[in-house]
Structure 1
Amino acid sequence: MTALLQLSRWIDAFTERVGRSVAWLVLITVVISAGNAIVRKAFNTSSNALLEIQWYLFAAIFLLGAGYTMLRQEHVRIDVILGRFSKRTQIKVDIFGIVCFLFPLVITVIAMVTPLVIKAFETHEMSSNAGGLVRWPVFALVPAGFALLGLQGVSELIKRFAFLQGLIEDPTEKKQAKSAEEELAEAILAAEAAKKGDAK
């Protein structure tokens, strides 16, 4: 189990790096979206490529960030019934869900989508919109995102078995006590305090 926990820590660290990198795509998406809106209103022109890149980036954020969301325990959970049971029972239900639902879903999606990605790559499939983008990169996000989700699922499964053996603390506890908004507010306040300190 020690080796498996080491693997789990490696997966968690990898997922953390991916999630933090993907978060920057939100800023890029906002900048492109704002720029496109300004150009459209100011010059009465637009670009299908810019519109499509927004959709591509949104897909990247959603798909590539799925594993990170699982790591942070932020996926939607319906605990109305399950919350009445002991933590060990909840963990066992999680294990059942990961093995019987998550892994089969990941394998099925990757198996079904990969041929479409290969075909789009080989045929250089393009958007049907004038000036649109090539399609295979956004298609490739689907198997990539599900692969990352499945990889994090392996880590979560290891942690749940380790918890049942009393080797680690509750793996379902959220990894951050503060929301992203609270962290941002604290960062802004710290920056303002630093500026005031420099002014003195």
Structure 2
Amino acid sequence: MLALAGIIDGINRAIASVLRWFALLMVLVQFGIVVGRYVFGVNSIWVQESVLYLHATLFMLAAGYTLLVDKHVRVDIFYAKAAPATRRWIDMAGHLFLLLPSMAALLWWSWPSVRNSWKILEGPISVGGIEAVFLLKSLIPVFCVLVALQSIAILLRLVAGEEPA
């Protein structure tokens, strides 16, 4: 069980190590857009949309890693002052009854839109934009899978009596 959890952790760590460069690239592209527009009077919808694509990719694919390192939003009304055993039960219940069903529902309800987008190779959001909305929509199921896998890894550690990585 713990070996599987380690593999899942490794996947999300590897993805995060690549995605951290997306943040820098996004800042540089946005800076280029501002300089291009206000200094040189040049504008490109394609370049502007690239910031949206980078942002979406960064946040959708890094969500599993965020869960791994426990930097996600936590509503800790009871959790902060609870005993470790109570925290374990709260974590297990949250993963089993809230997070995993939410990821399953999001995957289920988004899949037709993603499938249809791929069928027609859905084009740009704006005229002159990036002709790959189908790739942007594909981030939704990948997000669901990465977060669900990380949730399973955390559950495996909780069941084994180990603290999540």
Q: Residue 100 of structure 2 aligns with which residue?
A: 103
Find the aligned partners of 1:127 and 1:114 in 2 and give their Cα distance.
20
**1:84 aligned partner:** 81
* Selected match of 2:145 from 147, 152, 164: 147
- TM-score for both structures, normalised by structure 1: 0.78
Shift of 1:124: 2.3
5+ residue gaps, structure 2, are: none
Deviation at 1:62, TM superposition (A): 0.7
For the residues of structure 2 that align with 1:139 and 1:104, how far apart are their CA atoms?
Answer: 20
Which protein has the larger Cα radius of gyration, Structure 1 or Structure 2? 1
Q: Distance in 2 between matches of 1:113 and 1:6?
A: 31
Paired residue for 1:13?
10
Shift of 1:128: 4.4
Cα distance in 2 between the residues matched to 1:40 and 1:85: 53
Q: Which residue of the other structure, out of 46, 62, 65, is the alignment partner of 1:65?
A: 62
Given the two structures, how large is their TM-score scaled by the length of structure 2?
Answer: 0.94
Aligned-pair CA distance for 1:43: 2.0
2:30 partner letter:
S
Q: C-alpha separation between the residues in 1 aligned to 2:55 and 2:125?
A: 19
**1:113 lines up with 2:79 in the alignment:** no
Q: Which amino acid aligns with 1:124?
A: L
For residues 107 and 81 of structure 1, what CA distance do their matches in structure 2 show? 26
**1-structure distance, mates of 2:126, 2:12:** 35
Structure 1 residue 137 displacement after superposition: 0.7
Cα offset for 1:51? 0.8
Unaligned 5+ runs, structure 1: 176-200
Aligned length: 164
2:50 is aligned with 1:53: yes
Q: Which amino acid aligns with 1:9?
A: G
| Aligned residue identity for 2:149 | L
2:121 and 2:2 mapped to 1: Cα distance? 42
Structure 1 counterpart of 2:129, one-letter code: G
Is the counterpart of residue 157 in structure 1 residue 148 in structure 2? no
Given residue 144 of structure 1, which amino acid in structure 2 is its aligned partner? V
Deviation at 1:150? 0.6
- Alpha-carbon distance in structure 1 between the residues aligned to 2:42 and 2:82: 58
Amino acid in structure 2 at the alignment position of 1:103? L
Amino acid corresponding to residue 119 of structure 2 in structure 1: E
- Shift of residue 145, structure 1, vs aligned partner: 1.2
Tell me how far 1:127 sits from its aligned partner: 2.5
Structure 1 vs Structure 2 CA RMSD? 1.3
Distance 1:35-1:67 versus aligned 2 partners, 3 A rule: same
Structure 1 residues 29 and 128: alpha-carbon distance in aligned structure 2, compared to 1, 3 A threshold: closer
Q: Which structure has more RCO (C-alpha within 8 Å, separation ≥ 6)?
A: 2
Deviating more after overlay: 117-126 vs 22-31: 117-126
Distance in 1 (alpha carbons) for counterparts of 2:94 and 2:56: 25
